[in-house]
Structure 1
Amino acid sequence: MDFALSPEADELRLRIRAYVEERIIPLEADPASYDEHENIARPLLETLRAEVKAKGLWALNMPQERGGGGQNMVTLAACYEEMNRSIFGPVVFHGAAPDDGNMRLLNMVGTEAQKERWLQPIIDGKVQSAFAMTEPDGCGSDPSMTYTRAERVGDRWRIYGRKHYITGAESAKHFILMARTGEDDRNGLTAFLFHADQPGWRIIRRIPIMGPEEHGGHCELEFDGLEVTDDDVLMKVGDGLRATQIRLGPARLTHCMRWTGMGRRALEIAMARIETRRAFGATLIEKESVQQLIGQAAMELDIGRLLTMRAAWLLDNGSLARKEISMAKVVVADALHKAVDTSLQLLGARGYSKDTPVEWMYRYARQARLVDGASEVHRMVLANFLRRHAKDFFNWGAGRG
């Protein structure tokens, strides 16, 4: 379990670091860089994406033959961390949710025809995608609670129900939709593909949220007879739960990869301030209480980085890494919040203001303990692993599924 990057991977990481440092971070201070939802403005995003493509840094998680970078999970962990040292970074490099997870799922399980129709335009950045699973009063962390239903009508499926908090839905063109096709919780869900221009569905509202928003927001959707053919069933009828599990495990881990980068940036902003700011006859960094705060936050963040890298290594070596991904998700979510909260505290009024991106990060960071499974759910998963495997929970091998 050697976490040292290959020379090629480290060179790639350093190229990303340089571009983020020199090109993207300076843009954060310009109000014109933002859209009305506090994300990077579309025209600027398209300019930067063209630059990234020209540098060969685009869609690192996708195969090279489809225009991506073809990198494994360990390399992605290091590179995604560097990307998210800027709040704009992941979407510029095409490494942001939900496209990142949707592309991975489609690439892993889609037919060749589905990859050409549904995946390739996402990889190329021509369309945005969304994953429609969560429901009002229905499934969230528990997909078995899905009540959106697909009924067989002739040679088609007709879909009825509601979804909410669907990230990017207002801007998305390609959707992956989870619906119930049977009563069995394990084999009664199916994943469907549909295009935004198809009739039979609508966006009820873009849900206002506490933090900055991804392009397309977080929306509530209604399905009132959306029709989908068998050609647009992802995997097989009844494989929806498997599709969800295939997507969500790595997607949770890529969240962790990005969050460690944001946490690092928050601490960097704080360090730049406390090393020069003087109070009561000394710089703040010389104060023991300040050292305790910054040291604790840095330690917790690095623990999260190590857990993230371990899970990435296990995925690359064929494990599902469910236990390790849950550990990383809980620890990194907490470490991100700790790092950003510590930075804001040390910056004082400057941190609470919009003079730095820390208040933006603070509002964003609170969602980390909720998205892709609340921390309490992941702790429950870990407890169940411990019950089943006892002493083997702490093994040093390739892990248990």
Structure 2
Amino acid sequence: MAFTISPRIEDFRRRIARFVEDELLPLEEDRANFDAHENIRLDVLEVMRDKARAEGLWCLQLKKETGGQELGRMGMAVCYEEMNRSLFGPVVFNSAAPDDGNMMVLEKAGTPEQKDRWLKPIVEGRVRSAFVMTEPHPGSGSDPGGMMLTTATRHGDSYRIRGRKWFITGAEDAQHFILIARTSDDPRKGLSAFLFDRDTPGWRIERRIPIMGPEEHGGHCELVFEDMEIPASDLLLNEGDGLKLTQMRLGPARLTHCMRWLGLSKRCVEIATTYAHERFAFGERLSKRESIQIMLGDLAMQIEVGRLLVMKAAWALDQGSYARKEVSMAKVHVANLLHKAADTAIQINGARGYSKDTPLEWIYRYARQARLVDGADEVHKMVLSRNLDAEGRGFWSWPVEGEQA
């Protein structure tokens, strides 16, 4: 096992770190650079995106032929963690959800024609996108295959879409959409994936759902489909491949969330450590108190555990595996870690941490969603239990060099 990264990856990491330090962190200090939903203001974002493009720090996750730098999942783990030292980082480098996952799945599953029409504008930063799967009760959540209610009925050379979706991230600002809908009652081949444009008639945004935390651009929306027509040519993969497409997208997307959350967790520790070294109470620095040292030492350890889990899952994905159990372990651990990091940092900072004088309260409110999005903790633990039942002691086996899994 080699716990090293290539000089090329390290070069990207250093350049991203410098960009974040010099360009993005100063922007966070001025509330005027935030929009009404507590994300980077769009006009400021475009300036920063132009700078990122100019420095070759754009769409690092994609293949070179698509317009990226082809870093692979392990390289992404290193760079995404560095990007999200800033609240604004991922979206500036075009590596934020949901565009990030949508671009990767379109690159992998789209036809040349679909890539040119639907993927290229997202890569170039001309449009935003959304992934339309989750439904309100009693529709699909963590079990799309068994509970999907939105239907796509074939009529000649097109499909007619009827149904309702919600918590669709980025929908209000998106131009291109990937939609998952039911085309049959087959338990494994009953779902299909479609592409549609914002200007397609027959659907509407019912509302932008208010949430407790800061929002991605375009919010989290409820959508209604009333006989929207999608040409059969805009099927992504084949009819019945919707569950396959979902698995292709969500596995890597769950892990990229973890990569970014590690960056935010480290930012929390950074803020807490700086304050602990500066703040005096009862005649000594907070950093000299054993209670504070235990809190920070535990966080440092848990972050490193998260990094190792993420990197192992990234390695497995780079080897061609779905890495289901590796991704589930990383997702549960890092989601809980992010909340703990924000909570601990606020505790150390006291009233200052509870105020808006630091990003800690922003991160704290944002962190609560981490244990829900892309599968709740309990669902991932259930997946792990099923793997344990199936594999027994082999659950903890090491891959052997030269042998296929």
> What TM-score does the superposition give when structure 1 sets the normalisation length?
0.99
Deviation at residue 369 of structure 1 after TM alignment: 0.4
Matched residue, 2:112 = 112
The answer (yes or no) to whether the contact 2:98–2:130 under 8 Å persists in 1 is yes
Equivalent residue for 1:184, pick from 167, 183, 186:
186
The answer (yes or no) to whether the contact 1:34–1:40 under 8 Å persists in 2 is yes
Q: Secondary structure at the match of 2:171?
A: coil
The answer (yes or no) to whether the contact 1:351–1:359 under 8 Å persists in 2 is yes
The answer (yes or no) to whether the contact 1:344–1:351 under 8 Å persists in 2 is yes
Letter paired with 1:48: M
Matched residue, 2:141 = 140
Unaligned runs of 5+ in 2: none
Q: Distance in 2 between matches of 1:185 and 1:101?
A: 25
Matched residue, 2:75 = 75
The answer (yes or no) to whether the contact 1:105–1:247 under 8 Å persists in 2 is yes
Deviation at residue 294 of structure 1 after TM alignment: 1.0
Q: Secondary structure at the match of 2:36?
A: coil
Equivalent residue for 2:214, pick from 204, 212, 219:
212
Q: Distance in 2 between matches of 1:167 and 1:357?
A: 22
Deviation at residue 146 of structure 1 after TM alignment: 0.5
Equivalent residue runs for 1:254-265 within 5 Å: 254-265=256-267
Matched residue, 2:202 = 200
Matched residue, 1:64 = 64
Equivalent residue runs for 1:171-320 within 5 Å: 171-320=173-322
The answer (yes or no) to whether the contact 2:81–2:260 under 8 Å persists in 1 is yes
Deviation at residue 3 of structure 1 after TM alignment: 3.0
Deviation at residue 297 of structure 1 after TM alignment: 1.4
Deviation at residue 65 of structure 1 after TM alignment: 2.0
Cα shift readout 1:65-103 (whole Å, capped 9, x = no counterpart): 222121111000000000000000000000000000000
Cα shift readout 1:192-242 (whole Å, capped 9, x = no counterpart): 000000000000000000000000000000000110111100000000000
Deviation at residue 299 of structure 1 after TM alignment: 1.0
Q: Distance in 2 between matches of 1:327 and 1:95?
A: 22
Cα shift readout 1:269-303 (whole Å, capped 9, x = no counterpart): 11110011010111001101111111111111110
Deviation at residue 400 of structure 1 after TM alignment: 9.7
The answer (yes or no) to whether the contact 2:66–2:107 under 8 Å persists in 1 is no
Equivalent residue runs for 1:19-38 within 5 Å: 19-38=19-38
Equivalent residue runs for 1:337-356 within 5 Å: 337-356=339-358
Letter paired with 1:301: I
Q: Secondary structure at the match of 1:91?
A: helix
Matched residue, 2:155 = 153
Matched residue, 2:388 = 386
Q: Secondary structure at the match of 2:172?
A: coil
The answer (yes or no) to whether the contact 1:298–1:339 under 8 Å persists in 2 is no
Q: Secondary structure at the match of 2:9?
A: helix
Matched residue, 1:336 = 338
Matched residue, 2:363 = 361
Cα shift readout 1:10-35 (whole Å, capped 9, x = no counterpart): 11101000110111011101011100
Q: Distance in 2 between matches of 1:400 and 1:77?
A: 24
Which runs of 4 or more aligned residues in structure 1 lie more than 3 Å from their structure 2 counterparts after TM superposition?
398-401
> Does 1:91 pair with 2:95?
no
> What TM-score does the superposition give when structure 2 sets the normalisation length?
0.98
Deviation at residue 185 of structure 1 after TM alignment: 2.0
Q: Distance in 2 between matches of 1:2 and 1:74?
A: 12
Output the aligned Cα RMSD. 1.1
Q: 1:228/1:400 Cα in 2 relative to 1: closer, same or farther (>3 Å)?
A: farther
Q: Distance in 1 between matches of 2:26 and 2:349?
A: 19
Work out the number of aligned pairs and report it.
401
Q: Distance in 1 between matches of 2:404 and 2:36?
A: 45
The answer (yes or no) to whether the contact 1:159–1:224 under 8 Å persists in 2 is yes
Cα shift readout 1:292-325 (whole Å, capped 9, x = no counterpart): 1111111111101110001001111121111100
Matched residue, 1:128 = 128
Deviation at residue 168 of structure 1 after TM alignment: 0.2
Matched residue, 2:326 = 324
Unaligned runs of 5+ in 1: none
Q: Distance in 2 between matches of 1:392 and 1:343?
A: 38
Q: Secondary structure at the match of 1:191?
A: strand
Q: Distance in 2 between matches of 1:400 and 1:341?
A: 43
Letter paired with 2:166: H
* Percent of aligned pairs sharing the same letter: 59
The answer (yes or no) to whether the contact 1:3–1:309 under 8 Å persists in 2 is no
Letter paired with 1:61: Q
Q: Distance in 1 between matches of 2:345 and 2:362?
A: 12
Q: Distance in 2 between matches of 1:3 and 1:22?
A: 29
Cα shift readout 1:124-147 (whole Å, capped 9, x = no counterpart): 000000000000111111112110
The answer (yes or no) to whether the contact 1:321–1:400 under 8 Å persists in 2 is no
